[in-house]
Amino acid sequence: MKSFRFLNPASLDEAIALATAPDAGDARFLAGGQDLLTEMQEHLAEPDRVVNLKSVPGLDRIEAGGGRLRVGALATLVRLEREAAVRARWAALSEAAASVASPQIRSCATLGGNLCQRPRCAYYRIEEARCLKKGGTECFAYGGSNKYSAILGGGPSWIVHPSDLAPALVALDAEIVLRGAGGERRLPLEKFYVLPADGDVTKETVLAPGEVVTEVVVPEPPAGARSTYLKFRERESYDFALAAVAASLVLQDGVVRTARICLGGVAPVPWRAPQAEAALLGRRLDAALAKQAAAAALAGAAPLEQNAFKIPLTKTLVERALLALAR
């Protein structure tokens, strides 16, 4: 690991100033370290400065009230998994948090770090492979080993976004709050992520250098709302999603009044499924409708040589999630 300066700011403003100072070089924020430290060990990240966000007070709150849930970027996943209000009213979020990695990792990993974590594609993680994500000219998954790659929204990179929390929060219509040297900005979480074809292929988000995720704000679900997160992984003990679905519905007498569906593990960003949502609206949710919505969610899928299995897998997850919410 390359040597670096480790800095413990006492405030958010100080953290941003330390990361954006003219002599900062490559500065990175550290939260739970469950991704960043591995990146540094593997020479994927070689920062000159590591700015520790854990020394900034007040970034770890979880507050439910006033028509919304506010979760600070430093809130750990174990707290999101266990917090009674989150389990009761934002079930998809607590279920997604509970599905991440192992209890040890969840007790260190934070919301902000989970949303900003880097891809898990083996080519990206191998130091020697200079893939498109690392400034190279080629996505080696295309025509290479692509069992775990994207089936939706792929090209010119076929990574899948690894976060479990992101699809759940998109399905719950969350907003993300960012703060940088130029002030604060808020955007729908969905707009935080960018497809490889739409921006800088070496990045997954619109986060600017020196900008901090401060919190995520989730609206209070209306009466009749329910949500869930279903994930399929190869290794049951702990693993990233081969495919996942977050669904949030408002049902009245069994009829779908609003629907938000977001897929995980299948696209370079958390993947909204608007055709599936449209197929559900105003209709009674039964097995036939769940199947129809699942087919609509995967209608645009374009698998590579080794990952067509993700299509029936993801359809099954969508069907199961919808039927679980209908019960």
Residues 195-214 that bind ligand FAD (CB under 6 A): 212-213
At 1, the amino acid letter reads M
221 part of the interface to ligand FAD, by CB under 6 A: no
What is the spatial distance between Cα 261 and Cα 183, in angstroms, rounded to a whole number?
A: 32
Task: For residue 150, give both structure tokens.
Answer: 């994207």
- Binding pattern to ligand FAD, positions 234-273, x when CB under 6 A? ----xxx---------------------------------
Q: Tell me the backbone φ, ψ of residue 134, rounded to 5 degrees.
A: -110, 25
Cβ proximity to ligand FAD: between 117 and 307 the closer is 117
Q: Which is nearer to ligand FAD, 105 or 255 (CB)?
A: 105
Determine the 3-state secondary structure of 245 from DSSP.
strand
Does residue 32 belong to the site contacting ligand FAD (CB under 6 A)? yes
Considering only residues 55 to 114 of the shown chain, the ones binding ligand FAD according to CB under 6 A are 73, 100-101, 105, 108-110, 112-114
Please report how close the Cβ of residue 4 comes to ligand FAD at its closest, in angstroms.
12
- Count of residues engaged in binding ligand FAD, rule: CB under 6 A: 30
Rule CB under 6 A: choose which of 19, 31, 245, 322 binds ligand FAD. 31
Residues 109-138 that bind ligand FAD (CB under 6 A): 109-110, 112-114, 116-117
Enumerate the H helices of 90-216 as residue ranges: 91-98, 103-108, 111-116, 122-125, 165-171, 189-192
Pick between residue 116 and residue 174 the one whose CB is nearest to ligand FAD.
116
Asked if 163 and 240 touch (Cβ cutoff 8 Å), the reply is no
Report, in Å, the least distance between residue 101 CB and ligand FAD.
3
Pair 307, 243: CB distance under 8 Å: no
Taking the C-alpha atoms of residue 75 and residue 261, their distance in angstroms, rounded to an integer, is 25
Helix ranges, the chain (H): 12-20, 36-41, 77-82, 84-89, 91-98, 103-108, 111-116, 122-125, 165-171, 189-192, 274-280, 287-297, 310-326
Q: Specify the stretch interacting with ligand FAD by CB under 6 A; choose among 162-170, 252-260, 269-277, 301-309.
A: 162-170
Q: How far is the CB of 243 from ligand FAD (least distance, A)?
A: 13
Chain residues that interact with ligand FAD, rule: CB under 6 A: 28-36, 53, 73, 100-101, 105, 108-110, 112-114, 116-117, 162-164, 212-213, 238-240
